Amino acid sequence: MTEKREPRDGYAEGLLEIGREHDDVFVLDGDCAKPNYTARFQEAYPDRFFNIGIAECDIIGTAAGMAAQGKVPFANAYANFLTGRGFDQVRVSVAYSERKVTVVGHNAGTTAAQEGATHLPLEDVGLMRALPGMTVIVPCDAVEMRKAVHAVYDHPGPVYLRVGKLPVPVVTSPDTPFEIGKAVPLREGGDVTILNTGCTASEALGAAELLKDEGISAEVLHLHTVKPLDAEAILESVRRTGCVVTIEEHSIIGGLGSAVAELLGEQHPAPLERVGTRDVFGLSGTMDELFDHFGLRAANIAEAARRVRARRS
């Protein structure tokens, strides 16, 4: 049975580790330290933790000020509100000002479903990806999330890090390489390319298994970095397979699907099918119910692969 872990657990582990290694790490939270697991950092390093309250704009503004003084702040709040309400501050005080701030969007994607539709962000990656100079990272599991925290500490510019709350299958190992901007090969294949980001990795692998039973060999690449894309790895794969499917727990507008469409349109036109939410808001429910409702399952990905292969010339 595949192990499941909460991505936020890996985030908390990484945060404690870099806090122990570097005394310039500061953590800010929006009155959600317990569900965001930043309370662990607060307990270990109380002098470097600040509860700004439910004030997303202030969280970002304060973090930008800390960065201007040479600190390395991690600004935490629920993704829907941090990227929505705090967008102007992220845009001007962080991205435009080129401040080394990690904007950490918690409770992201369908993991927020049980808290209500208004809390469920399906456009946060698109918002952050549109900002000049912003790096966007969406790890697939708790193991990779821990590595991402270390990587963004060493990254010179602003980062948006998307963190899920509920347990998801662990598909990477401690030995799996992690480098910002570099794709992670999860499975080799020659008939269709499947590109995933975030917690959809296990569904992408499941789709490859379904296709294998039909004699279709699917290559699965995990793109933890939505911006900048690993264009070289994507193009090398698509040139071999001739077609591609993207899968994301996010709107196909502005997310991974859009990014890949832009890349292919400019450099290597090829049949593309995008699996994700389609110009809709979220719904209340459970994470599993929303994966079914939005068609984010292995069967949906496999069906998209069949369609896209039929379009190859």
Q: Print pLDDT tens along the chain (313 aa).
A: 689 999 999 999 999 999 999 999 999 999 999 999 999 999 999 999 999 999 999 999 999 999 999 999 999 999 999 999 999 999 999 999 999 999 999 999 998 888 888 888 999 999 999 999 999 999 999 999 999 999 999 999 999 999 999 999 999 999 999 999 999 999 999 999 999 999 999 999 999 999 999 999 999 999 999 999 999 999 999 999 999 999 999 999 999 999 999 999 999 999 999 999 999 999 999 999 999 999 999 999 999 999 999 998 7
The two tokens of residue 2 are 């595949």
Q: What are phi and psi of 166, to 5 degrees?
A: -85, 155
Q: What token pair was written down for 57?
A: 């704009």
> For residue 129, what pLDDT is reported?
98
In this prediction, residue 212 carries a pLDDT of: 97
Phi and psi of 246, rounded to 5°?
-110, 145
- Looking at residue 80, what is its pLDDT? 94
Q: Would you say 299 and 210 are in contact if contact means Cβ atoms under 8 Å apart?
A: yes
The C-alpha atoms of residue 125 and residue 252 are separated, in whole angstroms, by 10
Identify which of 171, 175, 234 has the alpha carbon closest to the alpha carbon of residue 204.
171
Cβ proximity of 84 and 127 under 8 Å: yes
Which pLDDT does position 1 carry in this prediction? 63
* Cα distances (Å, whole numbers) of residue 46 to 42, 60, 68, 70, 168: 5, 19, 21, 19, 30
Q: What angle do CA 11, 12, 18 make, to 5 degrees?
A: 90
Can you give the pTM of this predicted structure?
Answer: 0.97
